[in-house]
Structure 1
Amino acid sequence: MTVQAILAPVFAQVLLTFALLFWTGRVRFAEVGAGRVRIGDIALGERNWPAKAQQAANAFSNQFELPVLFYGLVALALYTRKADLLFVVLAWIFVASRVVHAGIYVTSNRVVRRFQAYAVGVLVLLLMWIIFAVRILVAPLAV
């Protein structure tokens, strides 16, 4: 696989993270501008934001949890040259699950649906790590 094909899902995940950052800012500024939030109320804790603003902030924060394992895996797969078509397809499925998860989080916030999207991402990422580990551990035996 080409470096571009391997990194394209990473760029999409990074784009999602920045989009959620800007979304969070927009929602928060709107809440302050509308007078529903006073700066003093949120100066020491984010939990005083209204639900929509907190949902956006939580969706943004989630991009620094599970995706960290994704970024690390992609870097290792690139370095070891163990990324193939299956790896790229699974990477895109992982990123799609993150987009769906974030979309649910900032809109309806239906917890069951949000969990389902999260679970898909977890399982796909786990599968990616297992495949990668097997390829690394078996590679010396195949030489």
Structure 2
Amino acid sequence: MDNILIIYPILPVVLMNFIVMFHMRYMIVKAIKKRDVKYKYFRAYEGSAPEYLLTSRHHYKNFFEIPILFYLLCLVLYMIDDVSAIDLWIAWLFVLFKGIHSYIRITSNYVPYRAYSFNVCVFLLFGGWIILVIKIL
């Protein structure tokens, strides 16, 4: 199997990261314009902020948690030159469920659906890491 194929699933996750970042910036501008928060709030993020702004910031921070393990998994698989079909399935399913999680988070933020999609992402990532460890050992 062509090793470069494991890099392709990284690209949509990076794109999602930028989309969420731009969404967060939009929410910051919205909060300032609506006077829901004062500009000085952003010096130390102390004080109260509207829920839509906190949700957006938290969602952006999430992209520097679980996805980091995804990037690392894909890059290690690429480096050891041992990409299988199951690795690609896991990677693309992770992308799908991360996208679902992101969509839910930005729109309805309905916790049961959001939690389900997050848990699927974690399960897929955990499985991918187990497979990687087996390959290395």
Alignment TM-score, normalising by the size of structure 2? 0.91
Matched with 1:9 is 9
Counterparts in 2 of 1:12 and 1:46: CA distance versus 1, 3 Å: farther
Matched with 2:90 is 90
Matched with 1:111 is 111
- 1:127 to 2:111 alignment: no
Distance in 1 between residues matched to 2:80 and 2:46, nearest whole Å: 41
Which structure ranks higher in relative contact order (CA pairs < 8 Å, sequence separation ≥ 6)? 2
Matched with 1:77 is 77
Distance in 2 between residues matched to 1:47 and 1:98, nearest whole Å: 31
- 1:100 to 2:100 alignment: yes
What are structure 1's unaligned runs of at least 5 residues? 138-143
Cα drift, residue 4 of structure 1: 4.1
C-alpha contact 1:94 1:121 (8 A) present in aligned 2: yes
Cα drift, residue 111 of structure 1: 1.4
Cα drift, residue 115 of structure 1: 0.9
Q: Which has the larger radius of gyration?
A: 1
Alignment RMSD (CA, Å)? 1.5
Distance in 2 between residues matched to 1:46 and 1:122, nearest whole Å: 31
C-alpha contact 2:94 2:125 (8 A) present in aligned 1: yes
Cα drift, residue 122 of structure 1: 0.5
Bigger helix fraction: 1
